[in-house]
């Protein structure tokens, strides 16, 4: 009996020795279940850094390999389209895009659909494609309502919008304009659209105030542009102190300006929520679930009174 036990023990040890290198080889050869290509607008703001970070974390949880790419800037639609084309030719299982130009998307949308590659967009809506991000029209309405609460009836206001080639800025502008017309007596006297950059925003704001010195309120459709606008409206630079500014996005430098009273309010847009939701949805579609329509994140009006609390929430 003892001999049988010894033989059995030797056999178990031998099997274990054989299986160990096989198991090690299997671990080395493990590959994620899916590869998802992601092409964002840029990587020059806290918003997009947050989107990428949350995507990467969610992808690990779903056993997804991400390939994240961004063009040089938000005007480089040709470069972005080439990145998308390269990913589609590279054998990805799904595609997530934030288009820098909604007027030049037909080719890669058609190619992805023809190849049966699941596709969704973030931040920018394309008709018929699942969308993740803010309800940008509602953001404009929220900003207009907040502006009306701070200004006297019939005051003049302006809009400093980002690129007219991006649906987010188009919808924010439309929501603001429509709310003013339908619910307030405020007068929209100027609208300027340009690239979402700091220096351009400063120049556009200065020119708008020069042409319309009666402007008492300014709605700016991105955080970077808001920071440029507050420099143009700083009393230290010779401008009157009564220009109220409401912006969009909630990066740290904008929140700091909000605390100091240089910005009246910001409409929040959580990049972490956007990135995670996009990966969660694309994972469901890769597993056979149909994902359609718009999937909106939460947006809040942040003022000087609750800027600290919002920052703690973000941290």
pLDDT digits (tens, 9 = 90+) for 265-287: 999 999 999 999 999 999 999 99
- What does pLDDT average to over the chain? 88
Fold agreement (34-134+271-298, 136-267): yes
pLDDT in tens, 186-201: 999 999 987 767 788 8
Q: What is the domain class of 136-267 according to CATH?
A: alpha beta
Region 170-192 average pLDDT: 97
Model confidence at 26: pLDDT above 70: no
> Tokens 């703690």 map to which residue?
312
Do the beta carbons of residue 127 and residue 186 sit within 8 Å? no
CATH 3.30.70.380 assigned to domain 34-134+271-298? The reply is no
- Strands, DSSP E only, in 88-183? 94-97, 119-122, 131-133, 156-161
Question: What is residue 232's predicted lDDT score, i.e. its pLDDT?
Answer: 83
Model confidence at 143: pLDDT above 80: yes
At 161, list the tokens. 């919008």
Contacts of 191 (CB under 8 A, 6+ apart): 158, 159, 161, 173, 177
Model confidence at 22: pLDDT above 50: no
Question: In whole angstroms, what is the distance from residue 122 CA to residue 113 CA?
Answer: 17
pLDDT-derived band at 250 (thresholds 50, 70, 90) equals confident
The residue extents of the domains of the chain are 34-134+271-298, 136-267
């Amino acid at each position: 009996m003892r001999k049988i036990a010894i033989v059995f023990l030797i056999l178990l040890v031998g099997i274990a020795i054989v299986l160990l290198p096989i198991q090690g080889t299997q671990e080395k050869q493990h590959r994620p279940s899916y590869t998802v290509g992601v092409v964002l607008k840029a990587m020059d703001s806290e918003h997009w850094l947050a989107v990428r970070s949350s995507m990467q974390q969610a992808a690990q949880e779903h056993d997804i390999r991400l390939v994240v790419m961004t063009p040089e800037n938000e005007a480089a639609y040709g470069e972005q389209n080439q990145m998308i084309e390269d990913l589609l030719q590279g054998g990805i299982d799904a595609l997530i895009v934030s288009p820098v130009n909604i007027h030049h998307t037909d080719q890669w949308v058609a190619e992805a659909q023809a190849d049966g590659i699941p596709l969704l967009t973030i931040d920018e809506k394309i008709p018929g494609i699942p969308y993740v991000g803010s309800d940008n029209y509602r953001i404009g309405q929220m900003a207009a309502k907040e502006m009306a609460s701070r200004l006297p009836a019939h005051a003049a206001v302006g809009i400093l919008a980002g690129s007219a080639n991006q649906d987010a800025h188009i919808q924010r502008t439309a929501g603001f304009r429509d709310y003013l017309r339908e619910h307030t007596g405020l007068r929209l006297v100027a609208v300027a659209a340009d690239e979402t950059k700091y220096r351009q925003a400063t120049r556009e704001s200065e020119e708008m105030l020069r042409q319309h010195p009666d402007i008492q309120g300014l709605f700016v459709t991105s955080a970077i542009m808001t920071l440029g606008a507050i420099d143009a409206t700083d009393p230290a630079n010779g401008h009157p102190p009564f220009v109220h500014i409401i912006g969009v996005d909630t990066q740290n430098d904008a929140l700091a300006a909000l605390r100091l009273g240089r910005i009246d309010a910001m409409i929040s847009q959580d990049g972490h929520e956007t990135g995670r939701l996009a990966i969660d949805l694309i994972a469901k579609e890769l597993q056979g679930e149909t994902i359609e329509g718009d999937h909106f994140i939460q947006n809040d009006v942040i003022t000087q009174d609750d800027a600290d609390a919002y920052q703690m929430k973000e941290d």
